[in-house]
Amino acid sequence: MAKKKKLHIDFRGIRFLNWVAFAAFGVIIIAFLWLTQVVYLDNYVESTKRTEFGSLSQYLRYPVGDYHSRYDTIAEDNACNITVYRVAGDSASVEYSSMHSPSPRLAELFLKTSVEGEFKEDSVDKLLLYGFYTNDTCDTLVVISQSNALMQSTSHILKLQMIIATVIILILSVCVSVLMSTMFSHSLRNLSSTAHRLIQDDYSVVFEEKGFTEVKELAAALNYATAEMKKTEDLRRELLANVSHDLRTPLTIIKGYAEMMRDLTGADPVRRTEGLDIIIKETDRLSGLVGDLLALSREQNTPIEKSPCHLDVLVEESLATFGLAVERDGYVIEKDIQKDCPIVADAAKLKTAIYNLIGNAINYTGEDKHIYVSVKELDGEYVFSVRDTGEGLDEEQCRHIWQRYWRSSTHKRSVVGTGLGLHIVQAALLAHEARYGVDSKPGEGSRFWFALPKAE
């Protein structure tokens, strides 16, 4: 026999809280209606009648002359009865009444009332009464009366209707609250379920962009974040593959030449020197790989600290580090560097960017091994540029050249790299708010450049 699924209620979940909110709103509406239409109805009726009779008494204060017809009209217009008593001591006689058989008992209720008047309710005849004297001698008493039976009947009907309305409102409130809370929480629960799959590294998930506007915007943001996370994961795997391959090659070479030197070149200084040169070269390549990774970490975690410096000095210092490549490998670096170029920058970060741009040009220049470095003033800015004579880049490659881990399809296997160099350059230039770019066409080489404002 299948085991029944246990009902679980999340008391802090949006579905339950929405249900509570809607249910509470329904209860508040019911409570308000009961207070106004049932509990305080009699008080409201009494207050209203008191005010109404008080206002009406102002027209009845002075019964002079032939006032009968005027009182008849007032009584008819206000759906009430008006009776005028002549008071003598503890007795009263009817002088006028708009009804056929006025009761002397009504006068007895008001014999000791004040001139300002008094409001009373007669439970015997079910009347609402208001009595007052027309003068200070208290010899003329006016009593306004109105049947209370209709009011009581109306109140009874209202109370019965309120009971029925309360039941209906409660049922509707529960139904609507359950429906609305389900609607509100359904999209969020879908997002939560999809997010749990994303936590388990399932980057194929797609968040449904439907429902309320805010939910759709959240789903769109999560889809964008998922796509970026997938790109990052792909790049991470590519980086590991590239670094693993590029590390394995020089390590294998270093090991092979070290073993050869140990076993074969003991008495051959020429071969020993060649082997040592290769070991040193491959060690430099390994150092470059590790340096790129460390530089990326520093770019992401070190704040920029600007100070006055000279762009031409930074470029000359960077070029000096490539002296060995010029002497040993036959590279030719042609310079056109303007002197005295003051700027405000983080010298260390900017020098790293310059070094990477020159190194990139050396790696990808043509067979003539020529690169061209220049620093020129143009429109209040100092423009640094480095040009190679390599195979160049098309438009699509130029758009991707600054991306982390990206390397050109014209990448030479003899050039070891992680694809981080130009990304580090971009990070440094963005931190300096510099203009930068690359001008390149297939077969015409590439020119990388950046421009910084001239310091005062």
DSSP character string of 18-61:
HHHHHHHHHHHHHHHHHIIIIITHHHHHHHHHHHHHHHHHTTSS
199 pLDDT above the threshold of 60: yes
Same domain, 122 and 159: yes
Query: Which pLDDT does position 189 carry in this prediction?
Result: 76
CATH number for the domain including 218?
1.10.287.130
CA 10 to CA 1: how far, in whole Å?
27
3 pLDDT above the threshold of 70: no
Q: Which of 53-67, 240-254, 308-322 has the highest mean pLDDT?
A: 308-322
Which two tokens mark 50? 């008191």
194 in a structural domain? no
pLDDT tens by residue, 251-302: 666 666 676 666 665 566 776 677 677 677 667 667 666 666 665 555 555 6
- Reported as a pLDDT band with limits 50, 70 and 90, residue 78 is confident
Same domain, 268 and 349: no
Query: Which pLDDT does position 414 carry in this prediction?
Result: 46
CA 192 to CA 284: how far, in whole Å?
49
Last residue of a domain, one of 242, 273, 301: 301
Same domain, 116 and 218: no
Q: Which of 65-69, 182-186, 236-240 has the highest mean pLDDT?
A: 65-69
449 in a structural domain? yes
Same domain, 211 and 259: yes
38 in a structural domain? yes
Q: What is the mean pLDDT of the chain?
A: 77
More confident residue, 358 or 126: 358
Query: Which pLDDT does position 23 carry in this prediction?
Result: 75
5 pLDDT above the threshold of 80: no
180 in a structural domain? yes
Query: What is the average pLDDT across 351-364?
Result: 88
Query: What is the average pLDDT across 48-62?
Result: 77
Beta bridge partners of 378: 381
Query: What is the average pLDDT across 86-107?
Result: 79
CA distance between the termini of the chain: 87
183 pLDDT above the threshold of 60: yes
Same domain, 94 and 237: no
Last residue of a domain, one of 155, 184, 213: 184
Same domain, 20 and 138: yes
- Reported as a pLDDT band with limits 50, 70 and 90, residue 111 is confident
Query: Which pLDDT does position 295 carry in this prediction?
Result: 59
CATH number for the domain including 98?
3.30.450.20
Q: Is 266 exposed, middle or buried (0-12, 13-18, 19+ CB in 10 A)?
A: exposed
CA 86 to CA 181: how far, in whole Å?
71
Query: Which pLDDT does position 345 carry in this prediction?
Result: 93
136 in a structural domain? yes
Q: Which residues contact 122 (CB under 8 A, 6 or more apart)?
A: 106, 109, 128, 129, 145, 148
Query: Which pLDDT does position 415 carry in this prediction?
Result: 46
Query: Which pLDDT does position 340 carry in this prediction?
Result: 92
Same domain, 173 and 88: yes
138 in a structural domain? yes
Last residue of a domain, one of 258, 275, 301: 301
Same domain, 297 and 313: no
Q: Which of 73-87, 245-259, 294-308 has the highest mean pLDDT?
A: 73-87
Which two tokens mark 361? 């040009």
59 in a structural domain? yes
Q: Which residues contact 441 (CB under 8 A, 6 or more apart)?
A: 392, 393, 394
pTM (global) more than 0.85: no
User: Containing domain of residue 316, as a range?
Assistant: 303-453
pLDDT tens by residue, 392-443: 888 888 877 877 656 555 544 344 455 667 888 888 898 899 999 999 888 8
378 three-class SS: strand
Same domain, 297 and 345: no
CATH number for the domain including 328?
3.30.565.10
250 pLDDT above the threshold of 60: yes
φ/ψ (deg, to 5) at 391? -75, -15
Same domain, 314 and 427: yes
Least confident of 83-87, 263-267, 325-329, 430-434: 263-267
Alpha helices in 206-346 (DSSP H): 213-263, 269-301, 311-320, 323-329
Q: Is 374 exposed, middle or buried (0-12, 13-18, 19+ CB in 10 A)?
A: middle
Same domain, 382 and 241: no
Give me the number of domains the chain comprises.
3
198 in a structural domain? no
Same domain, 39 and 165: yes
